[in-house]
A and B are shown apart, each in its own frame.
Chain A
Amino acid sequence: KNQVEQSPQSLIILEGKNCTLQCNYTVSPFSNLRWYKQDTGRGPVSLTIMTFSENTKSNGRYTATLDADTKQSSLHITASQLSDSASYICVVIPDSNYQLIWGAGTKLIIKP
């Protein structure tokens, strides 16, 4: 069964600190892997999109990595800001399939 698992389930860090969120998946083959940010009460917004051949992709203070051999991805947030408080969701798109497979997300709280 195709699965996407994320860790930790929740994380609290101080403003200005860095953090790394993890995503393990069993989806194979896959077209691409995406990280979304979902603010409370809002729909998910795409942060990064990586194909299976890409190892890293940055978007400002967000850097995603992908290891297709171990089927792991991470999202690193640098110099966290209060506005980074949100759920971060790892999503895998199976090859030639529009049905996204969603992780349950990591709830990140940034404290001043």
Chain B
Amino acid sequence: GAGVSQSPSNKVTEKGKDVELRCDPISGHTALYWYRQSLGQGLEFLIYFQGNSAPDKSGLPSDRFSAERTGGSVSTLTIQRTQQEDSAVYLCASSFSSGEQYFGPGTRLTVT
């Protein structure tokens, strides 16, 4: 079946603007994760959704970042009032429960 998809693949935005990044997980996967990957750095955990449980938001770097998952499927990561340090690749992954995570291709965000 189809893998994890993300859109857009690339996003260039001006500092101060809001952006929305979308993730379509693998059908049937109960868990969804958002990560941020800065150049030369390891992946940084942002947020975790599992079924109908309250999400683990402990990795969100500031209150400008938020995410939601509608209907237990599609997720949107929103960054408000973007800053240059937000520039990175944002990766989404999904899994059955806490099993093997399958990653999407990522969204490359550039804040100018």
**Contact assessment for B103 and A45 in the assembled complex, using a CB-CB cutoff below 8 Å:** yes
B67 at the interface (CB under 8 A from A): no
Chain A interface residue count, CB cutoff 8 Å, equals 16
**Contact assessment for A43 and B4 in the assembled complex, using a CB-CB cutoff below 8 Å:** yes
Q: In the complex, what residues of A have CB within 8 A of residue B100's CB?
A: 46, 49
Contact of A99 among B48, B91, B103, B104 (CB under 8 A): B48
B32 to chain A, nearest CB (A): 11
Q: In the complex, what residues of A have CB within 8 A of residue B59's CB?
A: 99
A4 at the interface (CB under 8 A from B): yes
Smallest CB gap from B42: residue in A: A102
User: Which A residues from 73 to 112 make CB contacts under 8 A with B?
Assistant: 89, 98-100, 102-105
Measured in the bound complex, the distance between the Cα atoms of B41 and A104 in whole Å is 5
Measured in the bound complex, the distance between the Cα atoms of B107 and A43 in whole Å is 10
Contact of B42 among A46, A49, A104 (CB under 8 A): A104
Chain A contacts to B: CB under 8 angstroms: 4, 41-46, 49, 89, 98-100, 102-105
Could you write out 17 A-B pairs with CB less than 8 Å apart?
A: A4-B42, A42-B105, A43-B4, A43-B91, A43-B103, A43-B104, A44-B43, A44-B91, A44-B103, A46-B100, A49-B100, A89-B43, A98-B48, A98-B98, A99-B56, A99-B59, A104-B40
